[in-house]
């Protein structure tokens, strides 16, 4: 049931308002307003009468695909990439500066997250959610729990490791495992990263791409370790009674921030801003956190979030992201191409 939010422009006497326009949102699967109306409560309540006509989606599996789709000019009004890719959208003229005065909930956004979306002195992205990437382990299926990214290469896990099909993630975690700075690696170190990833292949069960696989693979017992997994997979597995551990690798867990950008060619700015403001409303952000165990960009939503989510995600500790997590950093175009090429080489190797 959609969560009601008072004071957000919904006409209580006319619950069947119909929008004149339509939004196309380039999105990860699992965030659809039609499936999760509580994530955009004021908006989905207002347009409940014809929501499936007001919002349409095009989906992507990772940030590389999202950028490629935007560059192909698919006509999206909004796009939901993660922070290390935001600079590329700005540099390529794919998004436009935001008028944050049109967002009534903007002043509730965490300052350091908002700063990540600023380029050339202007706000280009609305941070929405943040979370972790780590190792999800079926503790009842392994003799020893891994406690470092380097343990992914341990022969005892041969044939039972699943890693996310992401060039960026695998480059970073392998660099950390080798003791390299992922954002300042030398050419020699990059060659070592590539070789190390090739050496991981005997341990691999598969590359996973859809977030549901991060749940299904350990649930079946086929995967003992899922690398690059988000914390929501752990939450679902634990709640379903599986004996799972979400590892804090000694080299550091990975952290990401994602958010919405407004396409440079958006056809309905009024509707797009209305959607964005609803997405960062208190109740909407709390609903997202409670469903997926994500960190909300809106700090005012904290009192509405379940206590066990706050505890697990360390939402009430200010240094959670800044001091205890290896946050992804902005990629240059050269880095994006190099990492994609390296990953393609790794996957094509015997």
Query: For 176-199, what is each residue's pLDDT tens digit?
Result: 999 999 999 999 999 999 999 999
Asked if 231 and 338 sit in the same domain, the reply is yes
* Pair (189, 332) in one structural domain: yes
Task: Flag whether 13 is in a domain.
Answer: no
Q: Do 224 and 197 share a domain, yes or no?
A: yes
Number of domains in the chain: 2
Question: Does residue 2 belong to any structural domain of this protein?
Answer: no
Q: What tens digit of pLDDT does each residue of 275-312 get?
A: 999 999 999 999 999 999 999 999 999 999 999 999 98
Q: Note whether 123 and 144 are same-domain residues.
A: no
Contact status, residue 19 vs residue 265, Cβ threshold 8 Å = no
Residue 222 and residue 137 share a domain: yes
Whole-number Å distance between alpha carbons of 114 and 108: 10
Examine residue 31 and state whether it is found in any structural domain, yes or no.
yes
One domain, residues 335 and 193:
yes
Q: What's the CATH number where 43 sits?
A: 3.40.190.10
Residue 19 confidence class, pLDDT cut points 50, 70, 90: low
Q: Are residues 218 and 120 in the same domain?
A: no
* Structural domain span for residue 338: 131-254+328-348
- Same domain, yes or no: 31 and 45: yes
Distance CA 159, CA 349 (A): 17
Do 38 and 62 fall within a single domain?
Answer: yes
Rounded distance, CA 176 to CA 169, Å?
11
Rounded Cα gap, residues 145 and 243, in angstroms: 12
Are residues 168 and 233 located together in one domain of the fold? yes
Residues 161 and 248 in one domain: yes
What would the two tokens of residue 182 be?
């992922």
- Measured between alpha carbons, how far is 219 from 112 in angstroms, rounded to an integer? 36
pLDDT reported for residue 166 = 93
In a domain, 123, yes or no: yes
Residue 306 belongs to some domain of the structure: yes
Which has the higher per-residue pLDDT, 12 or 163?
A: 163
pTM of the model: 0.84
Check if the beta carbon of residue 171 is closer than 8 Å to that of residue 343.
yes
């Amino acid at each position: 049931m959609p969560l009601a939010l008072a004071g957000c422009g919904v006409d209580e006497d006319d619950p069947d308002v119909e929008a004149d326009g339509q939004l196309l949102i380039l999105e990860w699967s699992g965030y659809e307003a039609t499936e999760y109306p509580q994530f955009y409560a004021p908006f989905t309540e207002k347009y409940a009468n014809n929501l499936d006509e007001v919002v349409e989606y095009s989906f992507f599996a990772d940030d590389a695909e999202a950028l490629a789709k935007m560059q192909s000019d698919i006509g999206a009004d909004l796009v939901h990439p993660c922070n290390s890719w935001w600079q590329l959208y700005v540099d390529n003229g794919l998004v436009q500066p935001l008028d944050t005065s049109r967002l009534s909930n903007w002043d509730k956004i965490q300052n350091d997250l908002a700063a990540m979306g600023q380029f050339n002195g202007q706000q280009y992205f609305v941070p929405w959610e943040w979370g972790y990437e780590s190792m999800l382990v079926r503790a009842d299926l392994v003799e020893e729990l891994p406690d470092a990214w380097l343990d992914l290469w341990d022969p005892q896990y041969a044939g039972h490791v699943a890693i996310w099909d992401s060039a960026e993630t695998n480059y970073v975690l392998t660099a950390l495992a080798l003791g390299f700075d992922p954002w300042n690696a030398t050419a020699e170190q990059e060659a070592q990263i590539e070789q190390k990833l090739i050496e991981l292949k005997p341990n691999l069960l598969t590359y996973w791409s859809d977030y549901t696989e991060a749940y299904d693979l350990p649930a079946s017992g086929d995967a003992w370790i899922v690398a690059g997994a988000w914390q929501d997979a752990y939450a679902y597995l634990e709640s379903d009674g599986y004996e799972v551990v979400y590892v804090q690798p000694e080299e550091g867990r990975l952290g990401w921030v994602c958010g919405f950008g407004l396409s440079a060619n958006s056809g309905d700015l009024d509707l797009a801003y209305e959607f964005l403001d609803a997405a960062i409303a208190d109740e909407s952000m709390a609903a997202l956190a409670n469903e997926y165990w994500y960190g909300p960009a809106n700090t005012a939503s904290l009192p509405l979030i379940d206590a066990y989510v706050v505890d697990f995600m360390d939402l009430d500790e200010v240094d959670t992201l800044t001091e205890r997590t290896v946050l992804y950093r902005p990629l240059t175009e050269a880095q994006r191409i190099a990492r994609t090429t390296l990953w393609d080489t790794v996957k094509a190797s015997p």
